[in-house]
Copies of this chain bind each other. A is one copy, B any other.
Amino acid sequence: MTKKYLQIVDPIHDFITVYQQEVELIDSSVFQRLRRIRQLAGAHLVYPGAQHSRFEHSLGTMHIAGQAANVLRNKGYLDANDSENIRMAALLHDVGHGPFSHLFEEVLQKKKKNSHEDIGQRIILETEIGDIIKKSGFDKTFLAKLAFGNSKYQFMNEIISGGLSADMMDYLLRDGYFTGAEYAKVDFMRIIHSLDVHDKKLSLDKSALHSFESMMISRYQMFKAVYFHKTVRSAEVMLIQAMALADSELGLTTDDIEIYVQMTDELVISKLVSLEPKNTDLRRAKQLAIEYQERKLLKCVYEKIFTRPRMRKMNITSLQNEIAKMSKVDESEVFIDVSKTPSIPLAPSKKESQSIILTTKKGEGPKESYELPISEIPLVSAISGFMDILRVYTRKQFRKKVEMAAAVILGENNQ
């Protein structure tokens, strides 16, 4: 009772309680910076309400993770200290995100750089964040693992990331609320109260299976309506390309954490817009940034769902060359976008999960658990395969040409 705390008003969870050591983490400038990184990079160009940031989402994730931890604590799997570790890990799970969050991630990948999770780990270990953790009596090395689903406690990892994670529950609810898309009616309270542990893994009481099913459908609907919306991705493809082109000039994918944490959405865009067009790359980066800001977006000229195996065999760069060649349009004007979203969120192991563990209790007998393959949940299995989308974009003036070339090379256009 004498634990110090404050309450933050949040449109999704009404009140989020924050304890002393968490307040200190939140008040650090490294964390405050998340206020300036939008949760949904370019989505606000289509859904103007989507101005929300990683900051609120991080608070919300901590809130849900804390509730999940409480449930498992009441069932005897965790103690108070574990609970607090889970809350802090959830709070910090996005602290490594760069400007435009997942877009920056794609730039990092192109550059074969560390992921935002590696950077997050370093931020926890090397900045004031680590000092605060230590001062509060917690173990920063453990938290640097747990925050990204790498601790040795599998079910604790799964509260942070994966198909039953606090992360996903918060973002589905929050993104639905702020975009206004409202597909996301996640009955997360039901899921959380049905969490259990089986063989060191997170399991779900069978009675909550339909809530899980609904949540997966919400995720699919949000994917189609928001995350991989044709126009949203047009804007995002432009930003990714602009950042990649100007990376060496602006040092975006720096290894210097001090510099990294200075970068925010609006600062990067203003740097891109004011680039000195010293070479072709910078000229193109600048042009893309200006057009992004003025909402003159690339046009989608081709869209098709491919099977996972076929998608994996594709070489995007050669495909781009091929289309450019056939359409007689400069290669730099052909943009190919491929969904990288798995049909179920990745488990901490980064492997796509193909099953869920269910716990059930018949009559007076003991609890029993078993693994249910995703393929046996009607709607969830139906989703698989409909999230592997390939699109081709180009500038307005090359529309016709690129459209035809893409159709010839890739087969019928299903746009």
Contacts and interface: CB of A to CB of B under 8 A. Distances in A.
B52 A49 contact: yes
Given A9-B181, A295-B32, A1 B75 contact: yes
Contacts of A8: 48
Interface in A160-176: none
Contact of A48 (B35, B183, B210): B35
Nearest to A51: B51
B214 A183 contact: yes
A326 interface: no
Nearest to A384: B378
Q: How many copies does the complex hold?
A: 4
Interface in A43-58: 44, 46-49, 51-53, 55-56
Interface string A59-99: 10000000000000011100000000000000000000000
Given A48-B59, A293-B29, A9 B264 contact: no
A256 interface: no
Contacts of A221: 210, 214
Nearest to A218: B185
A177 interface: yes
B74 A9 contact: no
Contacts of A15: 189-190, 193
A396 B53 CA distance: 29
A169 to B, nearest CB: 14
Interface in A22-48: 27, 29, 32, 35-36, 44, 46-48
Nearest to A75: B1
Contacts of A183: 185, 214
Nearest to A14: B189
Contacts of A293: 29, 32
A355 interface: no
A379 interface: yes
B1 A76 contact: yes
B294 A48 contact: no
A7 B52 CA distance: 21
Contacts of A179: 9, 11
Given A11-B180, A15-B189, 20 more contacts: A1-B75, A9-B46, A9-B47, A9-B180, A10-B49, A11-B179, A14-B189, A15-B190, A27-B295, A29-B294, A35-B51, A48-B56, A48-B59, A49-B178, A51-B51, A210-B225, A214-B221, A217-B217, A217-B379, A379-B383
- What 4 A-B pairs are tightest by C-beta distance, nearest first? A382-B382, A11-B180, A266-B266, A51-B51
8 contacts: A9-B179, A9-B181, A48-B56, A51-B51, A51-B53, A183-B185, A210-B225, A220-B379
Interface of A: 1, 7-12, 14-15, 27, 29, 32, 35-36, 44, 46-49, 51-53, 55-56, 59, 74-76, 177-183, 185, 187, 189-190, 193, 210, 214, 217, 220-221, 224-225, 264, 266-267, 270, 293-295, 378-379, 381-383, 386
